[in-house]
Structure 1
Amino acid sequence: MRMPSGFFKFHTLRLLNERPMYGYEIIREIERKTEKKPSQGSIYPILHELEEKGFVEATWHVVEKGPSRKYYHITDKGREEFERAKQKLTEVFNALFD
């Protein structure tokens, strides 16, 4: 089953609302929680879009051993967007089951 276009975007915001994460970590968490594995080709454009809109900010974490990682942090504007999207989804589900 193909997921709606906003599915991974919503889950990305939901995860970043919990804590900062790097891209591949987001992919793994979405797969773990939903049993749907987004591709890198779908998550990284979403992260870039969210960053352009000011919903997330990214910082590089450089380590001596292992790869450096770009961590994404949700902004206040991103939290507002997440809450708005969550409210809208709640309204849609409530309308379906009334």
Structure 2
Amino acid sequence: MSMRTQLLKGLLDACVLSIIKEKEVYGYELSQKLLDSGLGNISEGTIYPVLLRLQKKNLITSEMRASDVGPKRKYYFITPEGEEELENMVEEWNSIVKPITNLINKE
């Protein structure tokens, strides 16, 4: 497994929560937002287990909604617990990324 894959696996929960915090999304829309952010194509086989795990932790919730085209879609929403957890994740990320960047980019 590449370093990028390992890092992304550990950070995907925060990325998903961050996207859902901005606006409720359905699964395919979430994968497109991850792709548009530059993270590459994240497969449904990766995204849906993350969504299920976040729901089990009560960090997100979902509801089925009618679609203008095709079948109903499951939309995901962040919970207050999810917002708090995201804040903790961002704090932790910021406390790690700055020192590592300084070390790696040291000339």
TM-score by length of structure 2 reads 0.83
Q: Match for residue 92 of structure 1?
A: 96
Q: Match for residue 40 of structure 2?
A: 36
Q: Is the 8 A contact 1:8 1:38 kept in 2?
A: no
Deviations 1:9-67 (CA, angstroms, capped at 9, x unpaired): 22101101101000111101001112411100000000000000000000000246422
How well do the aligned residues superpose, as a CA RMSD in angstroms?
1.6
Q: Distance in 1 between matches of 2:69 and 2:44?
A: 24
Moved over 6 A (4+): none
Q: Once the two structures are aligned, what percentage of the paired residues are identical? A: 29
Larger helix proportion of the pair: 2
Give the greater-gyration-radius structure (CA).
2
TM-score by length of structure 1 reads 0.91
Q: Match for residue 56 of structure 1?
A: 60
Secondary structure of the residue aligned to 1:6 is helix
